[in-house]
Structure 1
């Protein structure tokens, strides 16, 4: 069975098109993270302020990060999406011998998004546990 053409032998437009779906999924994942930071965290923050809670450090960090995302989403979102797009182009131009980099690029962003969302949810839960204990 003959092997297919290596990445270097494929036309550049086909190599770029091969990373486009992954980049689109990344943009959707980044948007979900931004929506979490811009909508869910501020609602929780209002509850915490109302009850004057002493918040864990991770919760304070998530709230601060959420504030930056909420205030500057129109700058941060395009910059993050463009940086990921540049990485996608670089990954597409790599020779086929380092195809593991494509997997690292594709799955790495979802790991990062999952970790940030997980940290956000856990930090909000810690603060709510503190609220329940204070009642």
Structure 2
């Protein structure tokens, strides 16, 4: 703080559009409706939201990481059945996917890669439903 905010505030919509597009498999905004993009742009363009977004990333590298270290040392895990879905384009395509890591953090986890980038629900909603609905059926009480 404050450098990222100062840089992003110069063109918040341009930054947002570029970032979102770069995280999709197609490298564009085609997976998002005009209405959704309008809402994202409207709300992201305020200094308060830019600051909050930057703080979220800062927390990941500081507070969240410290909390994870404590939880891992105490062998605390997510107890409920967990479904992990990830886009196969981008960083996950360079690995075997995040399932091995989630096994360290969950008592019961299953999952699969989805043919998409970061935004699995927006980029491939049918594949997400095909994975999510059977998972929910198996774990309904």
TM-score over 0.5 (shorter chain): no
Q: Which has the larger strand fraction?
A: 2
Specify the structure having the higher radius of gyration (Cα): 1
Q: Which has the larger helix fraction?
A: 1
The two structures have a TM-score, normalised by structure 2, of: 0.30
